[in-house]
Amino acid sequence: MEKLRIQGGRTLSGQVRVGGAKNAALPELVATLLTEEPVRLTNVPAVRDVATIVRLLEHLGVAIERDNDKTRAQLSAFNGTEAPYDLVKTMRASFLVLGPLLARTGRARVSLPGGCAIGARPVDQHLSALARLGADLRVEEGYVVAEAQRLRGADVTFDSPTVGGTEHLMLAASLADGTTVLRNAAREPEVVDLAALLNAMGAEVEGAGSDTVVIRGASELGGADHEILPDRIEAGTYLIAGALKGDRLEVTKCRPTDFEAVIDKVQEIGADVEIGDDFLRVSAASDYRGIDARTQPHPGFPTDMQAQYMALMTQATGSALVTETIFENRFMHVPELNRMGADITVDGHTAIVRGPRQLGGARVMATDLRASASLVLAGLAAEGETIIDRLYHLDRGYESLVEKLGAAGAEVERFRE
Ligand code: EPZ
């Protein structure tokens, strides 16, 4: 089992380059099921979740060639219409293949995604929306068995903004007969990026990025070339690394307008952040104020930055209330941070972070993707050595983290025990 060893206290400077957004690459690779022409994506991050969706798509008949950050995908003929449990259980976004399989072949058998560490994460809104488009759905032995002669456009109102649900319906509706309107849709930048790819493939998607998305179904879609947008959560994670230990650390090839809520919050607590068109320059300050944060759907403060922000708040003066409104169990980093000397108490959906506290290196365990990022940040700020176990969580969403942090001056290495 690989582990990460961090010697804390090092100053971070120079440049960290941000990669393509994992949470856009996943639905955009699924979109290759919608056509038999080649779809070429660039700025594809080399992370475990992308490797997982590639395995599933190849299982379904998509030929995928990868050359660094470039991916060429082409569906020759469907090799079955089943997405097996052992592939879907490891990564929830695999469930998105259901809509495209239905739209293209009229049938699908896709495993329900299990829950995951951060919550039950049901897909009820995906299913009720697909049913409104005319899909006949039933659950058998943990699989969704679906049939549809032809999906037809419909009006769908989500109970709450669901990123995956919005993306799933955009994928399915792009080949439905007629027009689909998604109300209370998610507004994340990754939704907007998926719409740009679908439109490049010949779909007609309007309103992505607002709470109402209109998709006029096409009879068929073609191939396209598309560059994936920068990963705003990776960028936000390195911004916080700079707020903790930076000396004019540059976070490059990012899109600051995609994570303004995070940048505003880091500036509000007192960090020195310069904002460029496609980069940030950040230096640590000596004294930070504890400022509350409450996760919200985009453009609010992203739940995927909650754990990382909490690590920063351990260094702020006073108490900060960090409230998680999206997932029911996304505080698993708290006990690990407390083992490093933080003073955090959890009361339901709110964590109270009291600081500043000098963190000390410790052996800690990653529990989910963003919790592991939070432990890396704490290890950079801590005195002494931190060992992080279960690195596979981190590898799901952070490409070349050791190389990127090492090049900026951190003392960090992977090792096998
Ligand atoms: C996406 O997950 C992201 N994953 C998550 O990032 C992110 O945390 C989440 O959006 C919220 O921003 C990808 O894009 C691959 P949701 P998703 O559907 O689509 C509930 C990371 O760290 N819900 O917006 O699964 C759900 O339980 C990952 O990169 C239903 O109840 O999120 C959750 O409480 C973690 N029924 C809330 O809505 C449904 O049918 C938001 O879920 C769907 C969702």
Q: Which amino acid is at 347?
A: D
For the chain, give the mean pLDDT.
96
State which ligand 1 atom lies nearest to the alpha carbon of 328.
34
Residues across the chain: 417
Is 254 a known active-site residue? no
* CA nearest ligand 1 atom 17, residue: 164
Nearest Cα neighbor of 41 from 209, 256, 223 is 223
Domains of the chain: 2-19+230-416 (3.65.10.10), 22-227 (3.65.10.10)
Count of CB atoms situated within 10 Å of the CB of 31: 26
Burial string for 180-209 (b: 16+ CB within 10 Å, else e) reads bbbebbbbbbbbbbbbbbbbbbbbebebbb
**Torsion angle of alpha carbons 54, 59, 60, 65, nearest 10°?**
40
Structure confidence at residue 89 (pLDDT): 86
Structure confidence at residue 381 (pLDDT): 98
Q: How far is the CA of 291 from the centre of ligand 1 (A)?
A: 25
Hey, what are 315's tokens?
């260094």
Hey, what are 37's tokens?
């022409």
Q: How far is the CA of 76 from the centre of ligand 1 (A)?
A: 31
State which ligand 1 atom lies nearest to the alpha carbon of 186.
24
pTM (two decimals): 0.98
Count of CB atoms situated within 10 Å of the CB of 235: 27
Find the catalytic residue in 116, 137, 346, 407. 116
**pLDDT for 93-144, tens place per residue?**
999 999 999 999 999 999 999 767 777 778 999 999 999 999 999 999 999 9
* CA nearest ligand 1 atom 30, residue: 122
147, 131 Cβ separation under 8 angstroms: no
Nearest Cα neighbor of 311 from 297, 324, 296, 322 is 322
Structure confidence at residue 114 (pLDDT): 73
CA distance 171 to 179: 13
Percent of the chain with pLDDT over 70: 100
Q: Give the DSSP per-residue string, 206-239.
A: E-BTBSEEEEE--S----EEEEPPB-HHHHHHHH
Give the contacts of 181 (CB within 8 A, at least 6 positions apart): 154, 155, 156, 212, 213, 214
**Interior angle at CA 190, CA 89 and CA 281, nearest 5:** 115
Structure confidence at residue 304 (pLDDT): 98
Structure confidence at residue 403 (pLDDT): 98
Alpha helices, DSSP H only, in 106-255? 124-132, 163-173, 189-200, 232-245
pLDDT in tens for each of the 417 residues of the chain? 899 999 999 999 999 999 999 999 999 999 999 999 999 999 999 999 999 999 999 999 999 999 999 999 999 899 999 999 988 888 999 999 999 999 999 999 999 997 677 777 789 999 999 999 999 999 999 999 999 999 999 999 999 999 999 999 999 999 999 999 999 999 999 999 999 999 999 999 999 999 999 999 999 999 999 999 999 999 999 999 999 999 999 999 999 999 999 999 999 999 999 999 999 999 999 999 999 999 999 999 999 999 999 999 999 999 999 999 999 889 999 999 999 999 999 999 999 999 999 999 999 999 999 999 999 999 999 999 999 999 999 999 999 999 999 999 999 999 998
For ligand 1, is residue 52 a contact (CB within 6 Å)? Answer: no
Structure confidence at residue 417 (pLDDT): 83
CA distance 334 to 341: 11
Only one residue has tokens 């022409």, namely: 37
Burial class (CB in 10 A: 0-12, 13-18, 19+), 270: middle
Q: Which amino acid is at 100?
A: P
Structure confidence at residue 259 (pLDDT): 98
216, 254 Cβ separation under 8 angstroms: no
12, 405 Cβ separation under 8 angstroms: yes
State which ligand 1 atom lies nearest to the alpha carbon of 126.
40
What is the C-alpha end-to-end distance of the chain, expressed in Å? 7
CA distance 349 to 118: 12
* Backbone φ, ψ for residue 379 (5° rounding): -65, -35
